Amino acid sequence: MSSNPDDFELGSHVGEDHVSGRPPSEVEHPTLRSELRGYLIGLGLAALLTAASFWSLDEHVIYGPGIVMALIVFGLAQVGVHLVFFLHLTTSPDNTNNALALAFGVLIVSLIFFGSIWVMYHLNGNMIPASALAEMRPE
Amino acid sequence: MNAPSAALRAGRDPYHIGHVPATGEPEYTGHGAGGPAPKRIVVGYGFWIFILSDVILFSAFFATYTVLIHARNGGPGPRELFDLRNTAQETACLLLSSFACGMTSLAVARRSLLWTEVTLALTGLLGLTFLVLEIHEFLGLVARGAGPTHSAFLTAFFSLVGCHGAHVSAGLLWLGTMMAQFPAKGFKESIRHRYLCFSLFWHALDIIWIGIFTVVYLIGFLTP
């Protein structure tokens, strides 16, 4: 890959706008081969992680109680693979805003998802059992 | 701060605000000081914000499903209902569709109308296969009396997976319009930016599906 920051924008390289003051001839195009290789690596890793997820359901492959954690790890790893190889989210300067927005999105998603599970688990723990509720009912 | 103010007094522009050097790379690309970012960066960023808001919407559905997974109203649970072979086929379709969409991006960058149309058609066909598999699964569940009205668990399941399916349907419509726009309008800047947004949307839907097959199907299958 060349070091031209235009190669690393979010999403795919769908053709450049010409920044004023920069002659078009200076814009290097990434080669088809290098870009194709990126997508193929992404596809291979994603397929591998998907296969690992489905195979890990077989209790003989992974220690039983650890399967859920393994599935979460495989899932998060695959999200990472998709972000890097398909969405081209990288650490280049042009991607700073995208990465920061993603970080904020991850924060909100975590608050909603884990917050809900946490709150509802404790609510269920504090509920009066149905049998006790029946005894409290006036005759 | 002495040096910049001295530079300002001298009538220069120490931070290169609104200024791109006539030759060579702008020095501060991405940090706001090299002039406005190219439009495709701004377009991509704006659409990325929309996608993140969509992901937040999905996170609420994921939380609902996880909280309600035991609320079955005496009915069947994930282990009795889900056919993981079907889920694996759906996953393969969507992953290959996402890859085909990447191939379209390569074709669009090279202004190849033939390859753009071929890979877009492939993306759409794989997406359509996914949708058919999903609708088939839904109809099968409803036929077995496990429709969305049976229990809170099933309502949460149909809402989450159905919401993703609705997004895929909308994406397929968008894909169809892109297939018409490239031949009709050519590889204009505005059309390429439109396609950039579509590719972000399509790849993001595959990321949501990773969450669905992991949390809903696989972890659901392990939940007694």
Tens digits of residue pLDDT in B94-138: 999 999 999 999 999 999 999 999 999 999 999 999 999 999 999
Flag whether residue A31 sits within 8 Å of chain B, measured between CB atoms.
no
pLDDT at residue B153 is higher than 60: yes
**Overall domain count for chain A:** 2
Which domains, ranges and CATH numbers included, belong to chain B?
Answer: 1-37 (no CATH), 39-222 (1.20.120.80)
Eight-state DSSP code of residue B212: I
Q: Chain B contacts of A117, Cβ < 8 Å?
A: 63, 66-67
* pLDDT for position A12: 54
Question: Residues of A with CB below 8 A from B107's CB?
Answer: none
What the block records as the tokens of B126 is 């794989």
In which residue are the tokens 């042009």 written? A94
Query: In the predicted model, what is the mean pLDDT of residues B10-23?
Result: 53
Q: Looking at beta carbons, which residues of chain B come within 8 Å of A112? A: 56, 59-60, 63
pLDDT over threshold 60, residue B180: yes
Sequence length of chain B is 224
Q: What is the pLDDT of residue A135?
A: 77
* Residues A75 and A105 both lie in one domain: no
Residue B135 confidence (pLDDT): 97
Residues spanned by the domain of A107? 93-139
- Model pLDDT, residue A38: 94
Cβ of residue A39 closer than 8 Å to a chain B Cβ: yes
CA-closest candidate to residue B108, choices B208, B220, B158, B183: B183
The per-residue pLDDT for A31 is 87
Check residue A5 and give its pLDDT: 41
Helix (H) or strand (E) holding B192: helix B189-211
Same domain, A101 and A122: yes
Q: Tell me the ipTM for this assembly.
A: 0.82
Question: Is the domain of A136 the same as that of A97?
Answer: yes
A19 falls within a domain: no
Render the burial of B95-129: b for 16+ CB within 10 Å, e for the rest: bbbbbbbbbbbbbbbbeeeeebbebbebbbebbbb
Question: Looking at the structure, do residues A9 and A52 belong to the same domain, yes or no?
Answer: yes
Residue that finishes a domain, picked among A90, A107, A123: A90
pLDDT-derived band at B40 (thresholds 50, 70, 90) equals confident
Same-domain status, A9 and A68? yes
Q: Do residues A46 and A104 both lie within one domain?
A: no
Instruction: For chain B, say whether A118 makes contact (Cβ under 8 Å).
Output: no
A12–B52: do the CB atoms touch at under 8 Å?
A: no
Q: Are residues A6 and A67 in the same domain?
A: yes
Query: Residue A75 is encoded by which pair of tokens?
Result: 């899932």
In a domain, A71, yes or no: yes
pLDDT at B37: 82
Query: CA-CA distance, A125 to A121, in Å (whole number)?
Result: 6
A35 and A85 within one domain: yes
A23 part of a folded domain = no
User: Do B44 and A11 touch, CB atoms closer than 8 A?
Assistant: yes
Is residue A64 in a domain? yes
